[in-house]
Chain A
Amino acid sequence: MTPHGPLFFHLGASHQTTPLAHREKLALPPERAAELHARLASVGVLREVALLNTCNRVEFYAVAADADALVRLENAFCELQSIAPADFAAFRQHTAGPEAIRHLIAVAAGLESQLLGENEIFGQVKVAYEAAQSAGTTGPVLNRVFQKAFQAAKHIRTNTGISGGQVSTANVAVELALTIFGDLTKARVLLLGAGEIGEKTAKAFLSRGAAALTVSSRTAERAMELARVLDATALPFEHFHNHLETFDIVVSATSAPDAIILPAHVSTAMRKRRARPLFFIDLALPRDIHTGVADLENVFLYNLDDLGKIAAQNLATREADVARARVLIAEKADALWQQLLARHS
């Protein structure tokens, strides 16, 4: 810790250093987090503290009252979680001063997340800060650091591409549908096949507001079961060709040995759809949809390879922007640290 500024530090463990089995042991349920807060308050080692507790990280951001605070916090945490301090030391991450500010901004911006650039962490950091405020454990340093960190994280998310583009097959498919339809509130989705990948993709569409989902599978029972789980409608597999024109998005993931959707089927459907586009997502291997379908007017066909390439491009773009984001973080963290030093002196 720097001897000249406030004794601000971060201590914790995350998915970056800690395997899942150990993260499970470190996870703090809310009631135990409150107990930890009480213990720390009783020993008076920390002037200010906030706890960020998510499935991928447990982190303390604190201002120490004295130089022993870090060790005492570590011991209190290990004791509460019933883990040996030596075990924790193998995975723990610790930074202090401007480095700790950089870490907090990077976490809030999603740079340290398992899925680079994801949005959810920003809200989780906000919740952590608000919880600390409610508990009365924040003060002038944490208030300033967190508020500035939120501003910096927003700036970084807006001005770099770290959160641009989806990187999972299901989400890439949804993103593509959005570039065709704008929003999915009027989009009817047909899922062919009741396997895992189809189900995940269908869930992704539902989570983005798809108007209706219909499931059709060669095994009628599985289609009905999945339809029940997803609050969808089941359609007999032998009839789906006759209803193609009623759907806007067709997700096909059957294990059929040959193509089940041919250009002739789609051509007939498109005559009834007039100007409305039709989006096919072929997640099957071997492919379910004949490649000739892609040549039809107003029809867009993407297969697993296409989605995989887009996901890889998105990831590469995000990674290219990480370096730029790190530079921005360093500038903002250093400026904030200088302000804290000036106030402290």
Chain B
Amino acid sequence: MPTLTDKTCLLLAAACYLAGVVLGTIALWRERRHSRAVMYAIVAVGYSFQTFGLYLRGLEVKGCPLGNTFELFQFTAWSAACLYLIIGPAFRLSLLGYFTALLSATLTLSALAVPAWDTTRRIGIFGGNPWIEFHAALALFSYGVFGLLALTSVLYLLRHYSLKNKRLGGVFAFLPTIRDLDQIGCRLLGAGVAILAISLAVGSVHWLRDFSSVASFKLIATVGILLAYTATFSLRIAGRLVGQRFSAVCALLYIAALLSLWPVNSSRPAGSPQPSTSSQAAPR
């Protein structure tokens, strides 16, 4: 009987997310509403595989698997799916499940498609310090929140375009309402800012003890991302940045946040690199 490896689980998760994308795309193509329950179930199954895959990877690297680009992408996709599973039923936003599946499929498949992102695995990068691990996991989770925010922002821009240009049929008929998208966008932004701020606050304790422990680019990039999102949130609350400009800024900021992951990741201390083997067996 073949053993279940972390890569196999993550591949199965990607397949589930991809199945959600295919299902949603076919429904949109046929101008039919896909079943929210089915989409939720598909993402939930994908999420379960991904959780187990990341757990196996965590056992292998002796900590939260955030040591290379592959793991960062996987964890971000996992965070977005986790949030969707929590808020999806409450907000009942049509197409949110489809777009979550699309985001998670894109991130997981990209990670799986580029072997170079997973050639080196860093073991014990957090040096056994659970606070640093908590800081890193929380920061990545906030990226998942911002990912979902970017999705709702894109949905807002599409809905805005359809209403302004009087194009309400076809795919546009399945978009959520402007008010729902605005409200959920505002809440996600608030939640993301809070989570990232807590994460940086936790990390700063470690940094204050040893300024050389964090590369200056990483510091500038992460604080810059937090400040940009905080400024956006403040302007939104003050009513100075609303509507499509708010959504466009949220979508663009996420691209910037994702792009910052590469230099942030490459500026980490090396830990104990070890070549990828991808053979961690499931515990029995």
A contact residues vs B (CB 8 Å cutoff): 161, 164-165, 176, 178-182, 274-275, 277, 294, 297-298, 300, 302, 306, 309-310, 313, 317
> A325 CA to B163 CA in the complex, in Å?
30
Interface string of B248-279 (1 = CB under 8 A from A): 00000000000000000000000000000000
Given contacts A179-B175, A182-B177, 8 further A-B contacts (CB under 8 A): A178-B177, A180-B163, A274-B239, A274-B242, A275-B182, A297-B245, A302-B166, A309-B166
Residue of chain B at shortest CB distance from A305: B166
**Which of A275, A300, A317 sits near B163, CB closer than 8 Å?**
A300
Residue of chain B at shortest CB distance from A175: B168
When distances are taken between beta carbons in the complex, the residues of chain A under 8 Å from B243 are 275, 277, 297-298
**Which of B175, B236, B242 sits near A298, CB closer than 8 Å?**
B242
> A75 CA to B179 CA in the complex, in Å?
59
Is B222 among interface residues, defined by CB-CB distance under 8 A? no
Is B283 among interface residues, defined by CB-CB distance under 8 A? no
**B177 with A179: CB separation less than 8 A:** yes
**B179 with A306: CB separation less than 8 A:** no
**Which of B173, B179, B245 sits near A182, CB closer than 8 Å?**
B179
Is B2 among interface residues, defined by CB-CB distance under 8 A? no
> A313 CA to B238 CA in the complex, in Å?
39
Residue of chain B at shortest CB distance from A306: B166
**A277 with B178: CB separation less than 8 A:** yes
**Which of A180, A275, A309 sits near B177, CB closer than 8 Å?**
A180
**B177 with A294: CB separation less than 8 A:** no
When distances are taken between beta carbons in the complex, the residues of chain B under 8 Å from A178 are 177
Which range contains the number of B residues in contact with the other chain? 20 to 34
When distances are taken between beta carbons in the complex, the residues of chain A under 8 Å from B175 are 179
Question: If the complex has contacts A300-B164, A310-B166, are A275 and B178 also in contact, measured as CB distance less than 8 A?
Answer: no
> A180 CA to B173 CA in the complex, in Å?
12
- State how many angstroms separate the Cβ of B151 from the closest Cβ of chain A: 18
**B242 with A294: CB separation less than 8 A:** no
When distances are taken between beta carbons in the complex, the residues of chain A under 8 Å from B242 are 274-275, 297-298
Is B169 among interface residues, defined by CB-CB distance under 8 A? yes
> A178 CA to B244 CA in the complex, in Å?
19
**B178 with A179: CB separation less than 8 A:** yes
**A317 with B169: CB separation less than 8 A:** yes
A-B contact pairs, 11 of them (CB 8 A): A161-B31, A179-B168, A180-B179, A275-B239, A275-B243, A297-B243, A297-B245, A309-B166, A310-B166, A313-B169, A317-B169
When distances are taken between beta carbons in the complex, the residues of chain B under 8 Å from A298 are 242-243
Residue of chain A at shortest CB distance from B163: A300
- State how many angstroms separate the Cβ of A174 from the closest Cβ of chain B: 13
> A298 CA to B242 CA in the complex, in Å?
8
- State how many angstroms separate the Cβ of B232 from the closest Cβ of chain A: 13
- State how many angstroms separate the Cβ of A9 from the closest Cβ of chain B: 36
When distances are taken between beta carbons in the complex, the residues of chain B under 8 Å from A302 are 166
> Which of B173, B186, B238 has the most A CB atoms < 10 Å from its CB?
B173
- State how many angstroms separate the Cβ of B236 from the closest Cβ of chain A: 7
Residue of chain A at shortest CB distance from B245: A297
